[in-house]
């Protein structure tokens, strides 16, 4: 008799402790994208700079290119990249009235938590035929926050109130 009462009590406690209705947790997701066209850059200077720390032309070169183009003073960024080579060369055409070579070096060295280091650099004026070519238009991505609420089910496990259980048996 004692065993069946204890078994019944244990069964009721276990079944009563499981929650059948999951709570929902709201997670906020931010999406940031806005395109803004910038004024064309009149490139009049070309900078060749050695860059160490590049592992690939696509991602590393792309992060350098994006950071420099966001200044609104850089027209083109290209690379003499060879996989496995310790130092690669970046060729940057820019408007010297809007940005200096020192500022370009500073930007490159701060990208990706200071992943890249620079070495020798040389700067030359761009010849007349390159200046007369049509300037390129740069598109810069600015940030605008859009909040999306996502409901995520969360299950809870609660210990039943033993006193309430016994008070129901006594009443």
Give the model confidence (pLDDT) of 17-67 as tens digits. 655 555 666 656 555 555 556 678 888 999 999 999 998 888 889 999 999
**Does 124 lie in the same domain as 81?**
yes
Range with lowest mean pLDDT among 26-30, 57-61, 86-90, 103-107: 26-30
d(CA 24, CA 136): 50
CA 2 vs CA 5, 9, 73, 82, 156: distances in Å: 5, 10, 86, 81, 32
Range of the domain at 75: 39-137
In a domain, 92, yes or no: yes
Give the pLDDT of residue 57: 87
**What are the DSSP E strand ranges found in the chain?**
23-37, 45-52, 74-80, 87-94, 117-125, 139-154
The chain-wide mean pLDDT, for the chain, equals 77
Q: How many structural domains are present in the chain? A: 2
Q: Where are the alpha helices (DSSP H) in 32-161?
A: 59-69, 101-110, 128-131
**Does 118 lie in the same domain as 44?**
yes
In a domain, 29, yes or no: no
In a domain, 147, yes or no: no
**Does 12 lie in the same domain as 46?**
no
């Amino acid at each position: 008799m004692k065993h069946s009462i204890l078994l019944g009590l244990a069964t009721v406690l276990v079944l009563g402790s499981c929650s059948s209705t999951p709570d929902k947790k709201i997670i906020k997701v931010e999406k940031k994208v806005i395109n803004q066209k910038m004024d064309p850059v009149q490139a009049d200077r070309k900078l060749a700079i050695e860059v160490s720390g590049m592992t690939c032309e696509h991602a590393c070169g792309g992060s350098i290119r994006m950071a420099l183009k966001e200044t609104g003073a850089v027209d083109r960024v290209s690379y003499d990249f060879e996989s496995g080579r310790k130092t690669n060369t970046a060729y940057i055409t820019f408007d010297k009235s809007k940005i200096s070579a020192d500022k370009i070096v500073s930007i490159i060295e701060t990208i990706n938590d200071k992943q890249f280091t620079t070495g020798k650099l040389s700067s030359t004026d761009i010849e007349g035929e390159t200046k007369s070519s049509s300037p390129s238009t740069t598109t810069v991505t600015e940030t605008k926050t859009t909040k999306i609420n996502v409901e995520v089910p969360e299950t809870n496990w609660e210990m039943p109130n033993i006193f309430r259980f016994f008070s129901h048996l006594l009443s």
